Structures are given as C-alpha cells and as structure tokens.
Amino acid sequence: MSQVERYKPYKGAAAGWGALVAVTRSWLGSKKALTNIRAMLKTNQNGGFDCPGCAWGESPENGMVKFCENGAKAVNWEATGRLVNPAFFAKHSVSALAAQTDYWLEYQGRLTHPMRYDAATDKYVETSWEEAYALIARHLNALESPHQAEFYTSGRASNEAAFLYQLFVRAFGTNNFPDCSNMCHEASGVSMKETLGVGKGTVVFHDLEHADAIFVIGQNPGTNHPRMLEPLREAVERGAQVICINPLKERGLERFQHPQHPLEMLGNGSKPTSSAYLRPALGGDMALFRGMAKFLLQWERDAQASGEPAVFDHAFIQEHTTGMDAYLAEVDATPWPHIIEQSGLSLADIEMAAAMYRKAERVIMCWAMGLTQHKHSVPTIQEVINVQLLRGNVGRPGAGLSPVRGHSNVQGDRTMGIDEKPSKALLDAIEQRFKFTVPREVGHNAVQAIGAMERGEAKVFIALGGNFAQATPDTPRTHEALRKCDLTVHIATKLNRSHLVTGRDALILPCLGRTEIDVQVNGPQGITVEDTFSMVHISHGQLKPRSPALRSEPAIIAGMAAATLGNHPVDWHWLVGDYSRIRDLIADTLPGFANFNERLQHPGGFHLGNSAAQRVWKTASGKAQFTASILPDDLVNAGVRKMNVTPDLILQTMRSHDQYNTTLYGLDDRYRGVYGMRDVVFVSEADIRKLGMQPGDKVDLVALWDDNRERRVKGFTLIAYDIPEGQAAAYYPETNPLVPLESYGDRTYTPTSKFIAIKVEKASASSLISAAVA
C-alpha cells in the first residue's frame, strides 16, 4: 500500500463496532485470550483490579462491568503470554535491541528475571534479587551526597509502592523525585493550589450528571479517557451543552456509539457527544477565556444598567473570593484584536462560548494536555478558573474544575508524597512519624534531573516504572545524559528503550503488574489507587504472575531500601509482608487517610475530600483567588523570534488511538484514519500547498530554538488533514527529539509538547533511504 492509501478518513462513530473489532483483535493477539476476557470482566469491579489504563473514575454505585477498548488493550498488553527471559537477552545484545523500534521492544513480552548489564559483552545477564539490591546499595552509599541520585516515578505505581518509595528516598536524604506528572498535569496542580488551595479536581463523577454545560478543553477522551464519553453523551441527551475546545475535530467528541448498547449498534446509529466545537490556535485557550470574560463583563454591566438579573454571582464573589477588581481591570485592558489573533477564533465564536457559559446554571470545565503543555499553561488554567469564579461555578453540585488525569494512579502518587517540592506539612508529618531528619531542599523535577545528569552532577538514576528516555524532551541529549550515569535501574513490566540507554552499570528489575496476584508473607495482597475524582479504592490482581521470579513493586522498594539503609527508619521486609501495615503508616502520616484499612471495605472505596469543593480555601488569602495575568504578547518564544526565521508551522505532539504514552499497541490511529504508520504529520491542505509540497510527500521536521543544536526528525509523511492553518500535529514519542529541554512551562517545567515552532523541509536523501528500509 502506498503511504497515501494508508490514510483513510474515518466515517464511523467513536467506540461501537470499530472498538469491538479492535478489542477482539488485541485479545487474540495476546495469546491468552480466554484468561484475559475473564480478567477484563473483573476490571473496575469490587473484588477485581483497577484498570491499568487511565485515571477516569466510575460512578461509585454503579456495579456494572465497565471497560473500554483502550482499557482492554492495556490489560492485554500487560497479560501477554510472550516472555522476555534470560534466553532472550542471551540472544540479543543491547546494541542489537536498540536498533529495534519501540513497538518491537514492548511487543516481545513480559520481563521475567532481574537482569544486570554486562558492558564487556554488551548484554544483559541474569542476576539474583539480592545481588541487584546490593549493587544499588553500593552505588547509593558511595555518593558524596544523596542529591546525586534521581528517583523517577511513573503514574502506574500504587499508593503503597509510592509511599514506601518516598519514605526510602527521603530517609536516604533527597527530594529528587522527577515524575511523569512533571510532564503532564503539573500546571493544573500549580494553578489550582495557588487559587483554590487544592491541586486536584473539585468535581466527582455525579457532578457530570448534574451539569448544564461541560467544557472539554484540550482533551481527546475518545482515545485517552473513553469511559468519559458516556457521561458526555448522557449530558447531551438530557439537554446539557457539551462544548469542545480543540483544534482537531476529534471523532470521539463528535459522535459516540456505546459498545454496550446492542440496539444502537445494530441500527448503526450514534448520538452526538457535543453541542458546540471551537477550534482555537495552539496555545490560544487563554485568549479565548479572556474573551469570554470580556463578554461576561460587558453583559454584567448591561444588566446593571438595565436592572436585569446579574450575570456574576455577587454573593459568592463577595463571600469567597479576592482579587476580582484587579482581574477585571486586566480584562478591560486586553484589546480585542489581540484576543482574536491569539485565540485563532472569531468574535462570534467567542461570543457563542460565553453565551453558552452564561446560560448554564452549573458548569464543569474539564481539560488535559492541550492546556497543560504550554509555556503559559499556569495563567491559561487560571483564566479558566477566573471565568468559573465569576459565576460561582466552584464548590456546588454539577459545577467545578476537572483536570482529567492521565496515568491510573498519577494523582495517588502525588498524594503519597512523590513530590520534588513537598509541602512543609508533609515533611513535618514524615519527620514526626518516622523520627528522622527529612531533607528540606527542593528536589529535581524531570527537566532538572536531565540537566543534572547531563552536567555529571547526578550519577544514579532509578525509575519506578515508565519510559524516561522516550517520554522526556530532547531525546538524543537525554539519552546522552542517562549514559553518563554510574548506575541506571528500571523497575518495569515490559522491555522499553530506557532499559537500553544504560549507565556504566544498569539493572532491569521485573515487577508484577496490576492484573497479577500478589502474594506476600501474609497471603494475597491488594493495592490502592486514587482516581481523577479523588476516590480511593482497592485493587486485587486476578491473574497468575507471568514468571515466578517477579516481585511486587513494594517488595522491590523494600529490598532496595533494606540493602541501602538497613532497618532505618522502618523494618522494610516486615512492612511488605502485609500491605495493610503500609496503609497503617499512610493513615498515621497523611491527611484524609484515617482508618484507611477499614474504609477500604466500603464498596467503591472512599472519597478523600476536597476543601475547594466545600468552599474552604486553603490559599494564602484564605479566599478563592482571581488571577490578573497579562495575555502573552506572542506565543512564539522570544529567543526563536530573535532568530529571524519565521516558523512554517506550530507543532503539537499527541497520542494515537493505539498507544499508551510510549507504549505502542499497534500502528493505527483509527479515528484519525491512519493505518500502519506513525511517522506522519497532519497539516492542512492549504499549508501543504503553501510549502510547495503534496500530500504524501516525505519531509523532515526541524525545530526552531536559539541554541545552535540541530533538532530534526526525518522522513515523515505529510497528511492533508482538517486542522487549522498554521498548525501541525504528530505523534509522541517519535517527535520528542524536537522538544528543546529548555522549552518548558513557566513555573511548571513541563516541556511545551503542544507548542513547537518548526520548519518543514523536503526529506533529505538519507531520511528517504531509512524510510524505505523501515
């Protein structure tokens, strides 16, 4: 098939038949179809395991089996019958493995034994758990300072694992906790904590059932949170408005077919999920919300003049907020032409959004990476909060703010203290409970950790899950930084590229997955997770572990900690004999977890509580805070502007339908009509013509950044796509070489993965050859 034929626009609804076909294919492909179907039926049910996919939550009362196509893929990917065992590593050297694609690497199956890198043969060789722990302890204890080690966490780690890990690392002496959240919802946490006093969403599942309008901003739930489509569709059915703000017309947001409603599928009918769809410029959301505020302010003044009912919720503003006057002055001062130009929307679009917002009694704002991965993400989210505060849309049923989290327990990991900027309260609580002097220095986030390794300041890198080498920006540079380490350690379920970017010493420590039975001294154990609505619940693995040599994440952390620190500050091995002991320590240390073990008995788990939802504001002023930010002059970085090269396009990097972050389940992106390829770039037909090129042409993408480093990805196929002019979209992680390490969000250090100024060049001869080989 030619590249162009592999692009076929998708005409069906999201989910529905297409999803079932895809699920069946992935079941059959996993070699363990029947067991996995049985396991799947227990996902997200009391007594089963929590879906290892996304962090979306369920209606707590709803006992129905809930799963989605992409949750099914996540289960199957973990529960595969294929094994990456010592014989596999004996056959393939690390350099040979490094020549394979990311897809091939993970496809090989589950890691089965602890492996140590042998530089002499360039191969991983089997090692024992005890030798592995001893090697880690030797390296850690040889450092001049504990701050020379980096401890990464990916968001699948359970609460129990995360709590033990942070205790180990702080007892060792550092707050160097780079984590996936740094690259994800960091901006949501920063902006909400400052203005509302909580770093988490203020809504629970039921709020979605009572909202009159739900804004879905910079988020593609059809792929990344498929179970969210159902409440959205229900909302539209009962007459609520769903307003989507996304430059791409994402299929899941347009129409949705429920895979568990047989009648609807037989008729091949589908119901709309959205009532309005705005397509802003990349990074244009702050301008849009500023424009909405301008309309609201104008209507409020009109209402005051004519004696009509007020537009603002004055009682709420008076009692609960501060800073509105300064904010409204900034709204007045922001000129319309600037708003229109930066938002990429017409005045009429902005007026419509503002009118829909005003008309709705109760409004929920949901968002994900389209808002968080920009330089100005914090002021952008704070602008959304400003608009919500104007009409009292925080802290009442059916209204609020909902940053929709990514990894299934990324929110819980933060709650457990995986935080490079821990609060004083957290550190005091740990110190009091465990009686050791905790490190008070702010630690490294992901970007800073890469910098520290690059400069040779950090020498040990340990990762609790994830794929740091691929998920982070500036890929060649990040790989170089990792290679400078004395030791790299990966606790993982599947082989990925990070394991092949080794320090002088390197370990792969294979762990149990969420789906597997976890037996410790006191019998089978459950672990707990927190979903995006702050519901905490227990998860019990159902499947036989893929290898008898696997250990659980808590057991591995205990092993590393005991080897490094002995019994300080706790008896690590005793603790992991029964995870309820870890939960007792959590209950002693962290607010909201009193009687943790008892409360888990409650079907569906328990809610952690959210002060902002109670209209209690744990902010500096004790009130909800309006923020008077200035709309950025120009979204293109000042350094890039000085280069005197005009970018051809602004690129966003995103997920296909067949991937879980750096894990590729397949090479299709069904809803966007792409099959069997990933090195593609979506550009409007008009822009392709302007570039003097044709759809299907091979191009190199070159990032613009004023540091004289070349950042280029080669041999991408141009796809003519329904995308606003001036924009391009391509998949992550392939495009991470284009994201400069220094291009990150103000105050968040989140790489600007949704805003990269690029030039598009005809593919160089060498990239055409490599593309032909691939």
Ligand X SMILES: Nc1nc2c(c(=O)[nH]1)N[C@H]1C(S)=C(S)[C@@H](COP(=O)(O)OP(=O)(O)OC[C@H]3O[C@@H](n4cnc5c(=O)[nH]c(N)nc54)[C@H](O)[C@@H]3O)O[C@H]1N2
105 vs 184 by CB, closer to Mo ion: 184
At residue 498, φ and ψ (nearest 5 deg) are -55, -35
With CB under 5 to 8 Å by kind, the binding choice for 687 among ligand X, Mo ion, none is: none
Rounded distance, CA 309 to CA 311, Å?
Answer: 7
Work out how close the CB of 120 gets to Mo ion at its nearest, in angstroms, rounded to a whole number.
38
Work out how close the CB of 217 gets to ligand X at its nearest, in angstroms, rounded to a whole number.
5
Work out how close the CB of 298 gets to ligand X at its nearest, in angstroms, rounded to a whole number.
24
Interface with Mo ion (CB under 5 A), residue from 171, 184, 427, 576: 184
Instruction: Read off the amino acid at residue 169.
Output: V
With CB under 5 to 8 Å by kind, the binding choice for 417 among Mo ion, ligand X, none is: none
Structure tokens at 733: 């992680």
Query: What letter does residue 213 receive in the DSSP assignment?
Result: E
Work out how close the CB of 745 gets to ligand X at its nearest, in angstroms, rounded to a whole number.
12
Work out how close the CB of 102 gets to ligand X at its nearest, in angstroms, rounded to a whole number.
9
Structure tokens at 352: 């419509």
Pairing of strands 487-492, 460-464: parallel
The candidate with the shortest Cα–Cα distance to 76, out of 111, 52, 48, is: 52
Pair 390, 293: CB distance under 8 Å: yes
438 vs 555 by CB, closer to ligand X: 555
Site for Mo ion in 402-421 (CB under 5 A): 406
147 vs 376 by CB, closer to ligand X: 376
Q: Which residues contact 260 (CB under 8 A, 6 or more apart)?
A: none
664 vs 718 by CB, closer to Mo ion: 664
Q: Alpha helix (H) ranges present in 524-664?
A: 553-565, 572-576, 579-589, 596-599, 638-642
Pairing of strands 505-510, 518-520: unpaired
With CB under 5 to 8 Å by kind, the binding choice for 540 among ligand X, Mo ion, none is: none
With CB under 5 to 8 Å by kind, the binding choice for 280 among ligand X, Mo ion, none is: ligand X
469 binds Mo ion per the rule CB under 5 A: no
465 binds Mo ion per the rule CB under 5 A: no
Work out how close the CB of 720 gets to ligand X at its nearest, in angstroms, rounded to a whole number.
17
Q: Where do contacts with ligand X occur on this chain (CB under 6 A)?
A: 53-54, 70, 106, 154-156, 180, 183-184, 217-220, 223-225, 245-248, 250, 280, 282-283, 285, 368-370, 373, 406-407, 464-468, 471, 491-494, 496, 511, 513-514, 553, 652-655, 659-663, 732, 735-736, 739, 753-754
Q: By three-state DSSP, how is residue 528 classified?
A: strand
Structure tokens at 673: 């009509």
The candidate with the shortest Cα–Cα distance to 760, out of 703, 680, 711, is: 703
With CB under 5 to 8 Å by kind, the binding choice for 246 among ligand X, Mo ion, none is: ligand X
Structure tokens at 110: 């589950």
With CB under 5 to 8 Å by kind, the binding choice for 662 among Mo ion, ligand X, none is: ligand X
54 vs 399 by CB, closer to ligand X: 54
Work out how close the CB of 681 gets to ligand X at its nearest, in angstroms, rounded to a whole number.
14
Say if residue 572 is exposed, middle or buried (CB neighbours under 10 Å; 0-12, 13-18, 19+): buried
300 vs 518 by CB, closer to ligand X: 518
Partners of residue 392 on adjacent β-strands: none
Q: By three-state DSSP, how is residue 425 classified?
A: helix
With CB under 5 to 8 Å by kind, the binding choice for 559 among ligand X, Mo ion, none is: none
680 binds Mo ion per the rule CB under 5 A: no
Work out how close the CB of 186 gets to ligand X at its nearest, in angstroms, rounded to a whole number.
10
With CB under 5 to 8 Å by kind, the binding choice for 493 among Mo ion, ligand X, none is: ligand X
406 vs 740 by CB, closer to Mo ion: 406
Helix axes 553-565, 129-142, angle to 10 degrees: 50
Pairing of strands 523-525, 241-245: unpaired
With CB under 5 to 8 Å by kind, the binding choice for 113 among Mo ion, ligand X, none is: none
Work out how close the CB of 184 gets to Mo ion at its nearest, in angstroms, rounded to a whole number.
3
370 binds Mo ion per the rule CB under 5 A: no
Rounded distance, CA 101 to CA 497, Å?
Answer: 9
Instruction: Read off the amino acid at residue 350.
Output: I
Residue 130 Ramachandran class (φ > 0 left, ψ -120 to 50 alpha, else beta): alpha
Q: By three-state DSSP, how is residue 573 classified?
A: helix
Work out how close the CB of 79 gets to ligand X at its nearest, in angstroms, rounded to a whole number.
11
655 vs 698 by CB, closer to ligand X: 655
Structure tokens at 208: 């979605």
For binding to Mo ion (CB under 5 A), which residues are involved?
A: 184, 406
